């Protein structure tokens, strides 16, 4: 509870707030621990928040995240930079509530990868063929650029840009969305965003994924020599977020879109 770290976007406003945060928390008896802190205070935008989660992915069982946005209001933060005094005092006075959010897990022959917003399989160099399995049963064969699996939080990010649906906050769902699918008389897949229960296990299988990339939020990894990707909600990892305000979800959507 009394160790902390600060992850800030590298801009003038964010760095100034980082310095203020360090000074105030030190004065109140908090100890800086950049390896495995109790709380990570995130100063920046949603991208900074996701970066912070990935930075501490190995110690998520003990870390909580509390964010302030140095731009417009985001989905991962409830405070703007102009609310800094309220933000820091709410934290110091214990006026926060803790919420847990799921993380997607992608497993390949090479390792395990995590996505807070989404897991993507994309191939910009050629048409990618993939068999799609849901809970171990063949659902369809997809042909096109790729496929995106998103969480509820991530439904407003890449998924939305790819034509996926926005999932209301609080629903335990994931979403499968095509990225530039090819559809004609010979090749046809669902060609629609597919909302799934968060216990659904999705597998992508292909004879060749040469040139394809696995995207885990902003991180990308080569899929050369990989033939199968298993995607599901992680049973071991989740993100713990602190909130000091109750921002109505539809107001947040309205302000951003």
pLDDT reading at 187 higher than 90: no
Q: For position 23, what pLDDT does the model report?
A: 98
Name residue, tokens 């990570």. Answer: 40
What is the DSSP code string of 48-77?
HHHHHHHHTGGGTTT-EEEEEESSS--SS-
Q: For position 40, what pLDDT does the model report?
A: 98
Catalytic (active site) residue 46: yes
Q: How far apart are CA 23 and CA 45, in angstroms?
A: 22
Task: Please state, rounded to an integer, the average pLDDT across all residues of the chain.
Answer: 94
Q: For position 73, what pLDDT does the model report?
A: 61
72-113 tens-digit pLDDT? 667 888 899 999 999 999 999 999 999 999 999 999 999 999
Q: How far apart are CA 228 and CA 38, in angstroms?
A: 36
Q: How far apart are CA 131 and CA 25, in angstroms?
A: 52
35-75 tens-digit pLDDT? 999 999 999 999 999 999 999 999 999 999 999 999 766 78
Q: Which of 38, 46, 83, 197 is catalytic?
A: 46
- From the list 124, 163, 114, 175, the residue with the least C-alpha distance to 146 is 124
Architecture of domain 3-95 in this structure: 3-Layer(aba) Sandwich (3.40)
* Averaged pLDDT for residues 167-185: 94
Structure tokens at 181: 């699918």
Domain ranges of the chain: 3-95, 103-237
pTM of the model: 0.93
Structural fold of domain 103-237: Tumour Suppressor Smad4 (2.60.200)
* Averaged pLDDT for residues 2-24: 97
pLDDT reading at 249 higher than 90: no
Task: Indicate the range of 64-78, 109-123, 159-173 predicted with least confidence.
Answer: 64-78
Q: For position 253, what pLDDT does the model report?
A: 78
């Amino acid at each position: 509870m009394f160790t902390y770290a600060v992850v800030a976007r590298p801009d003038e406003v964010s760095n100034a707030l980082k310095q203020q945060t360090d000074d105030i928390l030190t004065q109140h008896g908090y100890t800086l621990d950049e390896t495995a802190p109790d709380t990570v205070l995130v100063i920046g935008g949603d991208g900074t928040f996701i970066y912070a989660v990935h930075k501490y992915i190995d110690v998520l069982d003990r870390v909580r995240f509390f964010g302030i946005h140095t731009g417009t209001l985001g989905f991962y933060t409830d405070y703007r930079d102009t609310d800094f005094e309220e933000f820091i005092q709410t934290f110091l006075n214990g006026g926060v509530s803790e919420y847990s959010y799921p993380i997607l897990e992608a497993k390949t022959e090479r390792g395990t990868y995590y996505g807070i917003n989404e897991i993507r399989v994309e191939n910009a160099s050629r048409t990618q063929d993939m068999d799609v399995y849901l809970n171990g049963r063949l659902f369809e064969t997809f042909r096109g650029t790729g496929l995106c699996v998103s969480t509820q939080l991530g439904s407003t990010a890449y998924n939305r840009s790819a034509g996926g649906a926005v999932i209301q906050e609080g629903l335990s769902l994931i979403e499968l969305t095509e990225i530039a699918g090819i559809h004609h008389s010979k090749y046809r897949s669902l060609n629609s965003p597919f909302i799934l229960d968060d216990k659904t296990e999705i597998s992508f299988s292909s004879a060749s994924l040469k040139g394809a990339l696995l995207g885990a939020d902003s991180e990308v990894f080569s899929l050369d020599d990989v033939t199968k990707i298993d995607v599901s909600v992680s049973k071991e990892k989740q993100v713990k977020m602190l909130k000091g305000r109750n921002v109505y979800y539809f107001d947040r959507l309205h302000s951003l879109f």
